Amino acid sequence: MTTPLLLRSGAWALALCIPAIVHAQIPNSGFEQWDPSTTPMVPLGWATLNAVSAPGEPMNERVPGHSGAYAMRMTTRQVAGTVMAAAAVSGSFNGEGFPWSTRAASLVGKLKFHAGEEGDAGIITVSMMRRDPITGVRAFLGSGYLAWSEEATAWTDFTVPITYVNEEVPDSAVIIISSSDAAIMGVGTQLTLDDLQFQGVATGIGRDEHLHPNMRVSQRVGALVLSTELGGFRTIDLLDATGRSFVRQQAEGTTVTIDTSGIPTGVYVLSVRTADGSAWSQRVLLP
């Protein structure tokens, strides 16, 4: 029997923006540079799980690109009896990310996608951060989330809109990519990426309070209550800005209560998948 290794990342995204390209540097954004001294090779500027790949079956590999020579293909594989989604994190797994100093409205790029199991999706998450110069604590300013589940055998445009929770300007950004949805984890799912870049400048703060017209969230002391008309829930995740999961809950029925007692105050992402396969995410503030 296989044991899923859940690589969770998510954030809800909606932003107001002006149409412009912000020219700055996402490290190795076109995946042209790979370290040949490692086996298998890894893309420079990105942390991956290639070190634990089975021989000859890298989870992240160099393939022909869209505009340059190379792109990054990520494959969900079975490694030593464990199903593992390929992961890629800008910089390192410590979540520090890379320097970035504009309120980018979205992350755009090119992708290809094939689901190894029906309902699986490639996940792309963006977080904008700022470090307090006095305390040294990094504050969460905004985030974006994309779950791509459509078959795409040719290069296809994608956009990850970014929502901001205040008017501050970030000093760093973190991009987290997973080849699979943690709720599905289909062996053989492939997500191929190229030509990443930030686009536009966000001009406001996202204020939408609803996941979906047919889904509602209310807060009680120490709890979140979700209700839906979409045929019932399937899985619910509550994650922080770095993708760390505080709640992972299987659910049934059209109403569910999530225990949030003991979870630190802050901004979180509520990621929901319903029984009909729909996926929705929303930013929530826990007092």
Task: For the chain, give the DSSP string.
Answer: --EEE-----------EEEEE-----TTTT---EETTSSS-EETTEEESGGGPBTTB-SEEEEE-SSSSEEEEEE-EEETTEEE--EEEES-TTS--EE--S-EEEEEEEEEEE-SSTT--EEEEEEEEEE-TTT-PEEEEEEEEEEE-S-EEEEEEEEEE-EESSSPPPSEEEEEEESS-TTT--TT-EEEEEEEEEEEEE-S------SBTTEEEEEETTEEEEEESSS-EEEEEEE-TT--EEEEEE--SSEEEEE-TTPPSEEEEEEEEETTS-EEEEEEEE-
279 and 171 within one domain: no
The verdict on residue 208 lying in a domain is: no
Q: Which residues of the chain have pLDDT under 50?
A: 1-23, 207-211, 213
Per-residue pLDDT of 79-101, as tens digits, reads 888 888 898 988 766 667 899 99
Per-residue pLDDT of 39-61, as tens digits, reads 889 999 998 888 887 778 889 99
Of the candidates 137, 167, 202, which is a domain's last residue? 202
Per-residue pLDDT of 5-14, as tens digits, reads 333 333 323 2
The verdict on residue 94 lying in a domain is: yes
Q: Which domain holds residue 261?
A: 215-286
229 and 99 within one domain: no
Of the candidates 202, 224, 249, which is a domain's last residue? 202
